[in-house]
Structure formats: C-alpha cells, structure tokens
Amino acid sequence: MIALLTLSGCAAGVNDAAQRIQTKFIGNKVDALVVAFGPPASSFKMDSGDTAYVWQLASAMSITEYSANQFYCKVNVIASADGVVTRLTTQDATNGWGESLCAKTLGINRQ
C-alpha cells in the first residue's frame, strides 16, 4: 500500500482526476458507476427521494517514525430519484509528485 503513495509516474493530479470522473458520470445513470466500480460501499436514501452513494476505490498508508496516516480514494455521489447522477465529489490524496491516488487507481494519466 505504501508504494501507491511513493511511486512516480504519469498519473493525473487530484483536480484533473476529479474533473474527469465528474465528466464521465454526472448526467448518467448511477448504474454506470456500479458497472465501472462494482457495488458501492454504502448508500443512503434521503428524504428528498435522492440517494447518496459512496465508493471506496483504494486506500494507502503513510508511515513515519512518529505517525501513520491513512489516505483514501472515495467517490461520493448524489443520484436523483430516477437514478441520474446529479453531484459527484472525490476524496483523494496525492503523493510527493502531485499524483492522485484516484488517478493511479483508475489509470487516469496526465494530459
């Protein structure tokens, strides 16, 4: 897991990864996310009729002499009552080279 945060390469940064994931899924049915990522880690039916979903796609740990930190690639989605993705945000981490954990996990390269 530590290697995910320390490898160099050509993965995109956090903002670019988030933007590309948003572009691909916002406006589409939530089923497209299930096809791409599998079932969500959690979901919650909201009073509005919308449903909130969370996919945890990856995690990594950074360990130093004095601390350990856990990092995640999570995709948070709000879908309308008819299953259309209306909002998508990511919880992401970067390594020392500015590469996104989500980008590395999903194979999103710098442009």
pLDDT level of residue 2 (50, 70, 90 thresholds): very low
Q: How far apart are CA 93 and CA 80, in angstroms?
A: 28
Provide the token pair at 78: 């709000």
pLDDT at 50 over 60: yes
Q: Which amino acid is at 16?
A: D
Q: What percent of the chain has pLDDT over 70?
A: 88
- Pick the residue with more confidence: 7 or 61? 61
Provide the token pair at 107: 């194979």
Give the bridge partners for 88, in sequence order: 77
Q: How far apart are CA 86 and CA 78, in angstroms?
A: 6
Delineate the domains of the chain, giving CATH numbers in brackets.
Answer: 2-106 (3.30.1450)
Quick: pLDDT tens for 68-90.
Answer: 888 889 999 999 999 999 999 99
pLDDT at 49 over 50: yes
Q: Are 62 and 10 contacting, i.e. CB atoms less than 8 angstroms apart?
A: no
What mean pLDDT comes out for the span 15-41? 93
